[in-house]
Amino acid sequence: MKLLLTSAGISNPSIHDALVDLLGKPVAEASALFVPTAIYALPNGTDIARKVICGSMGDPFCDLGWKSLGVLELTTLPSINQNLWIPMLQQTDALLVGGGDCQYLCYWLQQSGLADLLPSLLHKMVYVGLSAGSMVMTRYGTTYNGHTLPAESNKSLGLVNFALHPHLDHESFPENSLDNIEKLAATISVPSYAIDDQTAIKVNEGTIEVISEGHWKLLSNK
């Protein structure tokens, strides 16, 4: 699998270089699809999705200068012939998965059938996550209760065997202090990466590398 799991997007040159390395070519020569689904379970989610696509909110993500950029809305896929969207995915260089609610995102990844396809797609296509879009690939996810899904619904796909805690020590997320994350990590059965918005986790066919111009910490409950 080729994953770039970010806290806030392509926030610095080191993360950008990691993306180019996974792509095997410049961003300007690569095609991308943006998945906004998780954002809809947040207050003002539709407006946030618009801002992320336009590049008027947060760090670069959709607005990196891709050769082409499309939007893949997971909630529509169950009602669309697979011949219309699976070949498109197979030809796409990068899947950009936005933040929001992990539980809502995980549900629609599974309901759409995309979750089952990801392991085969990600040997060529690069998965680029942002916040919840990153967490959903790990063994730990969160929910903002911005949906009506059953409480027991899965919060992550668990495709990599670690947990991820983004927005470390961010002023907008006071609950994400290192002290709080350390306490949470002690309850999780796998290693946890606490990362700030200048950090990402690069996974390339099983090799895990921390890419950072900020601060991060690897935590274990052992």
Domain ranges of the chain: 2-219
Global confidence as pTM: 0.96
Euclidean distance between CA atoms 101 and 108, whole angstroms:
11
Beta strands across the sheet bearing 94-97: 68-71, 31-35, 94-97, 126-130, 2-6, 199-204, 207-212
Confidence category of residue 222, pLDDT binned at 50, 70, 90: low
Question: Which residues does residue 195 pair with via DSSP β-bridges, in sequence order?
Answer: 216
Euclidean distance between CA atoms 189 and 133, whole angstroms:
21
Amino acid at 95: L
* Segment 177-219, tens digit of pLDDT: 999 999 999 999 999 999 999 999 999 998 999 999 999 999 9
The domain 2-219 is classified under which CATH number: 3.40.50.2300, 3.40.50.880, 1.10.1060.10, 3.40.50.300?
3.40.50.880
- Residue 36 DSSP label: -
Cβ neighbour number for residue 1 with a 10 Å cutoff: 18
